[in-house]
Each structure stands twice: as C-alpha cells, then as structure tokens.
A and B are shown apart, each in its own frame.
Chain A
Amino acid sequence: MSRLLPVLGNIAVLVAGLAALFGLPAFAETYVIINATIFASFAILALSLALIWGYAGILCFGQAAFFGLGGYTYAVAAINFGDTTGAAALAVALPALFAALLGYFMFWGRISDVYLGVITLTVSLILYRFVNQTAGEQWNIGEAPLGGFNGIPSTPILNWPGRPGEQLAPENIFSLAAGLLILVYFGCKALLATRFGRVVVAIRENEARVALLGYDTRRYKLAIFVVGGAVAGLSGLMFANSVFVSPTMFSLPVSGQIIIWVIIGGLGTLIGPVIGCILMQVLTNWLGTLNQVPGFGWVDPNLVLGVILMVFVLLVPKGLMALAADAVRWVVRNLPFPRRGKVPEGRKGDVRSASATGSHLESVHTSPFRRFAPPSPSGGRKSSA
C-alpha cells in the first residue's frame, strides 16, 4: 500500500487538475474564470518557493522580485513586439537570468542562510521602489510606459502564436494557466526524482556532507535557484494576463504571502503550498466580501490571515499536508476491523523500508525555520569521557 500511495496521490492531483482545467471554463461565469486564473498563477508562484525553500533549503524572502520581473518583462516586450509569443518566452528567460546573476554572487560568496534572506528581500524592495517611481516619459522602454505607481494597465493579452491581434479569450487564458500549473507541478516532481534533485535535497539536509562527497554544492544551489526564478517569472506572466502588471507585484506583502502559503501547506511538499495558496486566496476574497456585510465591518482580512499564520506556525508547523497524512494514519490505525493481508514476520522490515523510501522526498521538517536553528549535537558517547 505504501508504494501505491504516491502513485494514487499523483493520479488524484492529475484528475483534480484536469477537472478544473476542463470543467471550469464550461460552467463558470467570466469573473470566476478570471479569479481562477489568478489563483492558478499564484499557485505556480507557490510552487517556485516550495521548490527552492522546501527542497533546496534556500529561504528566498524576495521571490516576488522574479514574479514582478516576469510580469513586467512580458508587458514591456509585448507592447514593443506587437506579437506576444516572444514576450512570453522572455518573461521566463529574464527572471531566470536575473536569478542566475543574483544566485552567483550569493552562492559563490558563500553567504549564510540569514543573509541570503536579507539580500533577496532587499533586492525585491529595491525593484519595488524603482518601478514605483517610473512615472513619466523618461521611463518609457521603447513604446511601453512603465507607468510608475499605476503600472501598465494596457498590458496586452496573449495572442495565438503567430497570429498577432487574435487574443486569447479569458477561458483560454485560464486553461493555459491551469495547464501550466499541472505541468510545473509534475515537472518539479520529475526534477526532484533525478540525481540532480536528490543531490539538491541532500544539500538541504546537510550541505557540508554533500561537499565532502565531492559535489560542488554551489552549482546545484544556483541551478535550482534559477529554476525557481524561471517558474516565478512564468507565474508573473500568467498573472499579467489575468490582471495587469503593477509595482505591487514586487511588494513585500506578495513575498510574504508566498512564504505563508508554503508554511500553511507544508514545507517540503509540492501539493501543500498549492493547496495552501488556493485556500488562502479563497479565504482572502471571502473576508473581503464579509467586510462589506453590515455588522462585520470590523473584520480586517490581514489580521485574520496573520492569526491563521500564527496558529499554523505554533500548532501545525508541518503544515496541512502533514496534518492530513497524520489524520489518515490515525484513521487507518484505529479502524475497528482487522486489516487484511497479515504481514509475515520476516518481511516486516521490508514493509517499513518501502514506506520510508517512498516518502523520502516529501520530507520531515520539524519547523519551517529549522535552517535557522543551531545544529543539535548528536548525543554520542565520547570514548574518552
């Protein structure tokens, strides 16, 4: 059964994804579809941090920088090119290149985890400040006005490849965003299953040991950081196609939100942050409407979200996915009837091992901030003591 679980999980994710992909455009109203597109693009953003923080242990406080860069690159290039296809490719390539440059200085400089957080945060804030003040003619890039505080309300919608002027309908944009979300999700899974992915996970566990085995850890960290930047750029592209680009894409609340999605969903999983992201989006929207209801005007969405985050950090530090897994395990263990297929004595070890190997990637953090905790010396006997 334990070998089967990951497979069943993958099938469940695929079915849910495809159901949304094909079901929603058929039945939902346009504003629901646009909202769902925003959710999907944010979910891709959640995956970008789930990958580099949850699996590589790189806590990037400025993931919004790549998100914003992706959106702005797309908007500026699309306005200038006329056709959006090349602009879409640039929207992924430029954030990846930026991540490569930033990552090179951070990883080759061997800065500590805390400083990495500080630097990425600072970079995103600098970009935010910069884009925020780009109002006026002198900030036009070609034909595209950066628009300062207002962003670029004229952000073009994607056209069919090779057919400039023929824009995608909102349903098509949604299908694209949902399809990309599914693709990125399974792409990340596949990447993590390769030798490269396994080394990256090992670096999260113990970087010094990976180096002592002969792997140049800087290269691996840089590569996964670039993948994270590209994925965040892709989410920026889809976001630009569901709303329009504005400086808030670079802002601290966006960076913070991504971290919250990952914590709530479960650090060290991929599906957790996606679910966390969508739940938090739905909740935020609902709190926003609740706010309008007479008698509930005092409800501040940010306050509620803050409380939820605190509850999770203190009570459910491993996130929703671990909570769900514990619940399933509890139910199975407490089933009133005996389980079928008794395990023969000699094979018990094998069964345990299967479950342990199967879950090695969806791993085992005690706290989201584990990387900041001092290393605990293992209680070994000193023979001289």
Chain B
Amino acid sequence: MTAPILQTRGLTMRFGGVIAVNGVDFSLQEAELRCLIGPNGAGKSTFFKCLTGQLRPSHGDVLFRGHSIAGSQSHAIARHGVGIKTQVPSVFDGLSVRENVWLAAARVNPGRLADTMTDAALQRVGIGAIAGRMVGQLAHGQRQLVELAMVVAPEPDLILLDEPAAGMTDDEVDRLVDLIKELNKRHALVVVEHDMQFIRRVARTVTVFHQGAILVEGDVADILVDARVRDVYLGRQAA
C-alpha cells in the first residue's frame, strides 16, 4: 500500500465540554474518493475545519503526505494543495462569479494563465453563462457551484466537499456527480453528504461519523445495510 495523502491520528476537537471530534484515526489514499456521512452534529464539519486550519485541534495530528499540518494557518495548508468547499457557501458576494473564480486561480498562477484556468473552471462546473453575475444575487445552488469552481480552479491534490449538493436542482446534482467522478481521476476527495441517493451514485468507500468518532468504515453497499448505521443515521432519516 502506498503512503496516504491524508492521515489523522487521534484527532480531537473540544469546545468547552463538547467533544465535537473525538480521537479520529482517518486515512485517505492518493486519488481516493471517500464519502463521509453521519447524523447532524456528528462532527463532520468540525473535522474538515481541523484539516484546513480553520480550527486548531485540541489533540492529535494531521499529516498531509507525511508532513504534520495540525495547527498550521489556513493559507499555509491551502498552499500544500488542499481545497475546501464549506457547508455554508463561503464566497465573495460583492464580486462577480468570474472574479470569484479568478481569485482562486490567480493564487497558483498569476498572469494570463490565471485567466485561462478561470475559464476552464467555469466551463467545467458549467457556470460560464452566469460568469458576469454578482454572486450575492445567486440562488443557493448556484452559489454552491461558484464555490465548487473556486475549489476546482487551482487543481488542489486534495478536495474536501461539505454537503455540496444542498440546495441544488436535479440537473445541477447530475452535473455535480459527473464532476466528482471526473475530478476523482486525478484528485483525492472527501465528500460529506446527507443525501443517500447522492452517496449511492458516487461512493465506493464510506466512513460513518457518530458523536465525533468513526463508527464504521467500509464498502458503500455494506455500510448502507449496516444495522448500527441504520440506528444512528438512516433510522433517524426515515423517521
């Protein structure tokens, strides 16, 4: 087995009395696609924030290709090649769609190349037609796509997507599924989603979070029929 692109060891995030992430040992191979599921409050978003430097973990370590990045600044981690789409779209509302994506591309490639990368990312995500619109005026699903294009544009090696399908129309979800599959040819991805239909369409390996810890991890077909998962998650979903 080759070295993982991402690994966490005993990763823990505590907010006062609340332990949002509790001793997580997680490992992701190069160019792997992993889906992360779990009920509300399981700690998925907090886990992502620890990986990207938005939060400094209370304990444990995060290794990116063997280098510890736990407690590093967000921008330093991003420069290693980590891109994240946050749960609530984090975009520049007062700027145009194109400007949003350009800022992402211009970080890695100043000059004309940034323009080319911007166009490519806009086309790839399928938002070329709204490139001139102000992001603040867009619908939630479109804002998700803008953020997705921002994540895709600089071609990071590791892509983290927190609930990317939320608020999207069926057509947009179809495009997202295709995009994720295509991205996975060259990039490693971790995708958090609540929508089981969506998970079925993209997932191979699934990790289930429950109360900040990994409950179970395995093949998507096994996970979706696992009784424990049903209890903590699907059971609630069906109710």
A→B interface (CB under 8 Å): 195, 198-199, 201-202, 204-206, 208-217, 349-350, 352-357, 360, 363-365, 377-384
Residues of B within 8 A of A201 (CB): 94-95
Residues of A within 8 A of B94 (CB): 201, 204-205, 360, 363-365
Residues of A within 8 A of B88 (CB): 377-378, 380
> 7 other contacts beyond A357-B98, A357-B132, A378-B89, with CB at 8 A cut-off?
A212-B75, A214-B108, A214-B154, A349-B130, A353-B131, A360-B99, A383-B163
With contacts A380-B166, A384-B194 taken as known, whether A356 is within 8 angstroms of B140 at the C-beta atoms is: no
**Partner of B166 from A198, A357, A383 at Cβ < 8 Å:** A383
The distance in angstroms between the C-alpha atoms of A215 and B39, with both chains bound, is 33
Residues of B within 8 A of A383 (CB): 163, 165-166, 193-195
A354 to chain B, nearest CB (A): 7
The distance in angstroms between the C-alpha atoms of A9 and B92, with both chains bound, is 25
Q: Are B78 and A211 in contact, with the CB atoms below 8 A?
A: yes
Most buried by A among B95, B99, B131: B95
Kindly state the interface size class of chain B when it binds its partner.
35 or more
B90 close to chain A: CB less than 8 A: yes
Q: Are B92 and A209 in contact, with the CB atoms below 8 A?
A: yes
Q: Are B167 and A381 in contact, with the CB atoms below 8 A?
A: yes
With contacts A208-B74, A353-B96 taken as known, whether A214 is within 8 angstroms of B79 at the C-beta atoms is: yes
Top 7 closest pairs, chain A to chain B, by CB: A353-B132, A214-B78, A205-B92, A211-B74, A384-B194, A383-B194, A209-B90
Q: Are A214 and B75 in contact, with the CB atoms below 8 A?
A: yes
B45 to chain A, nearest CB (A): 12
Q: Which residue of B lies closest to A351 (CB)?
A: B132
B27 close to chain A: CB less than 8 A: no
List 19 A–B pairs whose Cβ atoms lie within 8 Å, in order of A's numbering: A198-B99, A198-B103, A204-B94, A205-B92, A205-B94, A208-B74, A210-B103, A211-B53, A212-B78, A212-B84, A213-B107, A214-B107, A215-B107, A349-B130, A356-B133, A360-B96, A378-B140, A381-B167, A383-B193
Residues of A within 8 A of B134 (CB): 356, 364
B7 close to chain A: CB less than 8 A: no
Residues of A within 8 A of B237 (CB): 384
B112 to chain A, nearest CB (A): 12
Beta-carbon contacts under 8 Å, B155-196 to A: 163, 165-167, 193-195
Residues of A within 8 A of B131 (CB): 353
A296 to chain B, nearest CB (A): 44
Q: Are A352 and B150 in contact, with the CB atoms below 8 A?
A: no
The distance in angstroms between the C-alpha atoms of A382 and B237, with both chains bound, is 12
With contacts A195-B106, A198-B103, A383-B194 taken as known, whether A356 is within 8 angstroms of B96 at the C-beta atoms is: yes
- Please encode chain B, from 112 to 131, with 1 for each CB lying within 8 Å of some chain A CB and 0 for all others: 00000000000000000111
B131 to chain A, nearest CB (A): 6
B68 close to chain A: CB less than 8 A: no
The distance in angstroms between the C-alpha atoms of A212 and B55, with both chains bound, is 12
Residues of B within 8 A of A364 (CB): 94, 134, 136
Q: Which residue of B lies closest to A206 (CB)?
A: B92
The distance in angstroms between the C-alpha atoms of A215 and B107, with both chains bound, is 7
Q: Are B136 and A211 in contact, with the CB atoms below 8 A?
A: no
Q: Are B110 and A195 in contact, with the CB atoms below 8 A?
A: yes
B121 to chain A, nearest CB (A): 13
Residues of A within 8 A of B6 (CB): none
B54 close to chain A: CB less than 8 A: yes
Q: Are A382 and B92 in contact, with the CB atoms below 8 A?
A: no
Most buried by A among B88, B93, B132, B167: B132
The distance in angstroms between the C-alpha atoms of A380 and B194, with both chains bound, is 14
With contacts A213-B78, A213-B154 taken as known, whether A360 is within 8 angstroms of B95 at the C-beta atoms is: yes
Q: Are B140 and A379 in contact, with the CB atoms below 8 A?
A: yes
A331 to chain B, nearest CB (A): 23
B34 close to chain A: CB less than 8 A: no
The distance in angstroms between the C-alpha atoms of A201 and B106, with both chains bound, is 14
The distance in angstroms between the C-alpha atoms of A205 and B79, with both chains bound, is 21
B208 close to chain A: CB less than 8 A: no
Residues of A within 8 A of B76 (CB): 216
B52 close to chain A: CB less than 8 A: yes
The distance in angstroms between the C-alpha atoms of A353 and B97, with both chains bound, is 10
Q: Are A352 and B103 in contact, with the CB atoms below 8 A?
A: no
With contacts A202-B103, A378-B140 taken as known, whether A356 is within 8 angstroms of B75 at the C-beta atoms is: no
Q: Which residue of A lies closest to B108 (CB)?
A: A214
Q: Which residue of B lies closest to A375 (CB)?
A: B88
Q: Are A217 and B75 in contact, with the CB atoms below 8 A?
A: yes
Q: Are A352 and B140 in contact, with the CB atoms below 8 A?
A: no
Q: Which residue of A lies closest to B156 (CB)?
A: A214
The distance in angstroms between the C-alpha atoms of A202 and B90, with both chains bound, is 12
The distance in angstroms between the C-alpha atoms of A377 and B194, with both chains bound, is 19
Residues of A within 8 A of B40 (CB): 382, 384
A350 to chain B, nearest CB (A): 7
A380 to chain B, nearest CB (A): 5
Q: Are A213 and B103 in contact, with the CB atoms below 8 A?
A: yes
A10 to chain B, nearest CB (A): 20
Residues of A within 8 A of B95 (CB): 201-202, 205, 360, 363
B146 to chain A, nearest CB (A): 11
